[in-house]
Amino acid sequence: MIYNVTHPLRFTPHLRPMPWGGRTLARYLGKTLPANVPVGESWEVSDHPSHASFVANATDFGVTLRQLMTDNRRELLGPTADRFDRFPWLIKLLDARDWLSVQVHPGDDAVKTLLPGEQGKTEAWLVLSAEPTSRIYAGLLPGVGPKELRVALASGKAADCLHTFTPRAGDFVYLPAGTVHAIGGGVVVAEIQQTSDATFRLFDWNRLDSQGKPRALHVEQAFASVHWDAGPVQPTNVSGWDSPKRLLASSPYFDLDWIVAKRTLQLGGAGRLQALIVVEGRGRFDNGEYVLPGDVWILPAAMPTIGLQIDAPLSALLCTLPTST
């Protein structure tokens, strides 16, 4: 069946309760959360086997992203369609009220033997809000190798091996697969990543579950995934940037730009898949669809140029699928 992929697409959020989550997605982004449950993730766009997103537009309402990829892959992805069995991005909002584990994601080569059936997982974060107690750990400190990290893990001091900083709203963090990282203490981020749920836990802050047992770790798989020479990852803060478009990161999986618009914005028409992750502001597409903070819009490759009329100054991440690796 052929679906209409010539206009911006929005999908129904998939909320995931997590023990480290909170309630900030409801307060900050207007998400409707289940009562009395800590929600850690809102999967805004997903074609992962564990969840296929549903179209929320009136046109083709309820159609899954999996169906669109099956029947309209070329219109959706453009010239890169033959490279992807699944939609290339998993886009999330995260509320890390407590601490996520110290973890690492495998790259495209490592995942083939470590977790067959999954994809590599390069990702990027934009910090939407943070508290004074929030921390981000990103990358190993200089001089830390397998020996030093094993000693630290054995003594419960893995964090001593990691570069860390106090995040601020507007911090952009690019995390190539193989980067050891952790996040928590009251931070909300927008995340875009390869479509993968491949995560290996190195350290879980010595926590115990409700039965008094620690969560499973994946130390050997993690060590096989780490890029030992990558070094610390520093954030880039976009607060105050007022240029209409500025490149944040370029990779084989996504190009990310920070965009700012005060009156109108022209989107689409480039023949490539894009995603608009709205951070601030509001407006309305020429087809009448309203755009609000926290929205994630997929702009199919086959979509002609569309105007966005700005009602309140808008800032957003614009993600574009590269035409080559």
* Closest alpha carbon to 184 in 29, 38, 10, 3: 38
Q: How far apart are CA 42 and CA 95, in angstroms?
A: 9
Residue with tokens 């819009």: 297
Q: How far apart are CA 132 and CA 86, in angstroms?
A: 39
Whether the CB-CB separation of 42 and 16 falls below 8 Å is answered with yes
Beta bridge partners of 191: 92, 125
Whether the CB-CB separation of 170 and 238 falls below 8 Å is answered with yes
Beta bridge partners of 310: 283
Choose the catalytic residue: 86, 97, 201, 272: 201
DSSP string, 31-50: --PPTT--EEEEEEE-EETT
Q: Which 3 state secondary structure label does DSSP give 229?
A: coil
Q: Is residue 73 among the annotated active site residues?
A: no
Enzyme catalytic residues? 201
